[in-house]
Structure 1
Amino acid sequence: MTIDIDRLTEAELIDLNHRIVERLRFLQQMRAHKQMLEFRIGDRVAFQADGRGTVEGMLTRYNRKSVTVITDDGHHWNVSPGLLTRATGPAAANPQTRPNLFRLK
């Protein structure tokens, strides 16, 4: 299917633009959702942060376009799931070293 945009009116071009932008947003959300499903809440993950090198932490929440990762020192990061990898450090190998997010009395 080809569209001859030279024959479209300004209103039709604006409508076409809105449809294209909406479709691109939908495709991006679907891609992010698919990438999120590769990880589960509680997984140890790592990502590259600008100026900080590799950051490791625990995935704690799925957001609409990102996931929340809490590092061992308590910092919260919202990260695109496409940037995550599974952490390979000693904390990932030994689940007893994971920080306790909930403590039962």
Structure 2
Amino acid sequence: MKYFTTLIIICLSGSAYADKTDSGNDLFQACNAGKEDCDIPIQAAYDTLEYNEYICPPSDMNNEKVKKIVMKNLREKPKERSKPSFDLMVSWFTKSWPCK
């Protein structure tokens, strides 16, 4: 049941901003321009995964550090930017902070 609930939350979180930041390119541009469309989707993905214990980041993690990680990945992996930004963040976060 927890998996199903998490999946629903992830889908809803992702669709809440899908029209503004569909792809990694959209998110990259929004962040470089300093728009609110940058912070909201990053925090939505991070908070959803952390709350449902799909990721276990270090206790000193904060919004700015998470954003830096996302931007680093977007800069270093331009070929991936055409993928949905939410999918990219889920992949990066779960690889970076797996729960043991």
TM-score by length of 1: 0.28
Q: Which structure dedicates a bigger proportion of its chain to strand?
A: 1
Looking at both structures, which has the greater relative contact order when contacts are Cα pairs under 8 Å and sequence separation is at least 6? 2
Q: Which structure dedicates a bigger proportion of its chain to helix?
A: 2
TM-score by length of 2: 0.28
